[in-house]
């Protein structure tokens, strides 16, 4: 039998980055503040460089494995040859039917609502979130299980209404007729190694529904004119229809979530919806006090990271956790899945924020420089503000005066704000990889590692 050459231990995958891993003790958005303060203090002492202390033979082995791939990972981060791991190929069978299944969940008897709800499913999106959910589902299928965990629902069960159809009065012409609930709908589906369960596939679809709903709402709030290279939904249908379509997506996501018949998973994803709204409210201010002429302090970055967790990382982290729960994984695996998603989500948004300064509208598929136009101070500007106090007045008035946007952009580009943002993103990507280091070797684990590396290399 020909052995497949696997990647070395995950905890070494980003040693070529400028920031070392700081152990994150927290599992919630409130703890992002402590996480950043620890990182900030250590970075100041170490100048963004450090070596890890080896406290065991395992850690030593990890470092040896890391040295073997350090040059290759460095090339990957800098845009060199790929490491021949295609995350999409690993779950291609499941991803192939993703959009079609989502469209089946979104059917409405009202033609205008049907078109608006399905509008963002017509363009080819990145589908990063469902891809991560599917990879995590497969990677955790090899991990230890919790004894006595409830049996996973069958495909029939997750497509079966809990209440009588006559009571629901929910007409979906895109879906096949639902069977009435019976005692047989909970027959367990056998789970073998490498298997992604029907409930986990549905979770991936729910995750994309929630994300797409947030895009519909965000585009109204941000007065967007383009999304995925096409006119935004608010431009195509009007603000009112775009908001209602987003609400409809959240409603259909909630119904699909309930039919997973797992209370903890329902709680996790329902909390994500609340987090998205809380994060949007936090984004109304650039600092917690919303001063007219603020002075930079560390709490400013903490506020930004808390907002970023709520708006971006919450969905990724909680859906990763839900995937592990649906697969019956033990507590250690569930926590590791959450930490991977949390840190990857933060890294992803940090890169998104720096791309707003470094890429054109054609490259992004949406307006470039939109953050400053919207009055938002993101990580590149916050890092620049530390050494350029004149940015404080611009932040305070949300870049509202003539020339503010161009001046702020030029100051950021003159500073090391973009470099520091990328360094912080590399740190979070490293933490994501470290979180899944205990997972057994598998193609899916390799795919999750590659997703962390690709999050740093992407250009849109």
CA distances from 376 to 17, 39, 273, 397 (A): 28, 23, 22, 10
Higher per-residue confidence, 447 vs 37:
447
Q: How far apart are CA 348 and CA 82, in angstroms?
A: 19
Q: How far apart are CA 100 and CA 207, in angstroms?
A: 15
Q: How far apart are CA 323 and CA 201, in angstroms?
A: 9
Q: How far apart are CA 251 and CA 255, in angstroms?
A: 6
Domain coordinates in residue numbering, the chain: 10-44+56-181+199-457
Q: How far apart are CA 20 and CA 9, in angstroms?
A: 16
Q: Which fold has domain 10-44+56-181+199-457?
A: Farnesyl Diphosphate Synthase (1.10.600)
Looking at residue 184, what is its pLDDT?
40
- DSSP three-state, residue 228: coil
- Residue-wise pLDDT for 203-222, tens only, equals 999 999 999 999 999 999 98
Looking at residue 153, what is its pLDDT?
84
The helix/strand count (H/E) of the chain reads as 23, 2
Specify the DSSP element, H or E, that contains 226.
strand 226-227
The answer to whether 117 and 248 are in contact (CB under 8 A) is yes
Describe the crossing of helices 263-282 and 239-258 by its angle, rounded to 10 degrees.
150
Which residues lie below 8 Å from residue 136, measured CB to CB, with a gap of 6+? 320, 323, 324, 337, 340, 341, 444, 448
Looking at residue 64, what is its pLDDT?
38
Residue from 184, 183, 135 nearest 327 by CA: 135
Residue from 36, 39, 55 nearest 305 by CA: 36
- Residue-wise pLDDT for 351-406, tens only, equals 999 999 988 665 555 556 789 999 999 999 999 999 999 999 999 999 999 999 99
Higher per-residue confidence, 418 vs 83:
418
């Amino acid at each position: 039998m020909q052995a497949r050459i696997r990647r070395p231990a995950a905890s070494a995958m980003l040693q070529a980055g400028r920031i070392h891993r700081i152990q994150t003790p927290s599992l919630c958005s409130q703890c992002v503040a402590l996480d950043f303060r620890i990182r900030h203090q250590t970075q100041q002492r170490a100048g963004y460089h450090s070596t890890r202390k080896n406290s065991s033979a395992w850690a030593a082995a990890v470092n040896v494995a890391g040295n073997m791939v350090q040059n290759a990972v460095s090339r990957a981060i800098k845009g060199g040859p790929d490491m021949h791991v295609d995350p999409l190929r690993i779950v291609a069978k499941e991803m192939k039917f993703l959009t079609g299944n989502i469209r089946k969940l979104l059917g409405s008897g009202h033609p205008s609502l049907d078109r608006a709800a399905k509008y963002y499913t017509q363009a080819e999106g990145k589908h990063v979130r469902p891809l991560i959910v599917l990879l995590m589902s497969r990677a955790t299928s090899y991990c230890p299980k919790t004894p006595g965990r409830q049996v996973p629902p069958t495909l029939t069960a997750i497509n079966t209404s809990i209440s009588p159809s006559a009571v629901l009065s929910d007409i979906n012409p895109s879906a096949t007729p639902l069977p009435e609930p019976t005692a047989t709908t909970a027959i367990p589906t056998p789970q073998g190694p490498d298997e992604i369960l029907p409930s986990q596939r549905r979770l991936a679809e729910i995750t994309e529904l929630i994300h797409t709903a947030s895009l519909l709402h965000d585009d109204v709030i941000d007065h967007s004119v383009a999304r995925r290279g096409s006119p935004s939904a608010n431009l195509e249908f009007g603000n009112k229809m775009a908001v209602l379509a987003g609400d409809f997506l959240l409603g259909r996501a909630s119904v699909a979530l309930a039919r997973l018949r797992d209370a903890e998973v329902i709680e996790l994803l329902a909390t994500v919806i609340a987090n998205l709204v809380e994060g949007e409210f936090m984004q109304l201010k650039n600092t917690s006090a919303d001063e007219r002429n603020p002075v930079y302090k560390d709490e400013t970055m903490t506020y930004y990271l808390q907002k970023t967790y709520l708006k971006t990382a919450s969905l990724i982290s909680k859906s990763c956790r839900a995937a592990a729960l649906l697969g019956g994984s033990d507590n250690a695996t569930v926590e590791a899945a959450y930490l991977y998603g949390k840190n990857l989500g933060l890294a992803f948004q940090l890169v998104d924020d720096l791309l707003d300064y470094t890429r054109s509208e054609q490259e992004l598929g949406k307006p470039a420089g939109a953050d400053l136009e919207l009055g938002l101070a993101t990580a590149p500007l916050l890092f620049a503000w530390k050494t350029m106090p004149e940015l404080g007045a611009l932040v305070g008035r949300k870049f509202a005066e003539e020339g503010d946007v161009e001046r702020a952009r030029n100051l950021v580009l003159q500073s090391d704000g973009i470099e520091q943002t990328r360094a912080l993103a590399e740190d979070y990507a490293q933490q994501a990889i470290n979180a899944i280091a205990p997972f057994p070797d598998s193609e899916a684990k390799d795919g999750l590692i590659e997703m962390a590396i690709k999050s740093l290399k992407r250009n849109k």
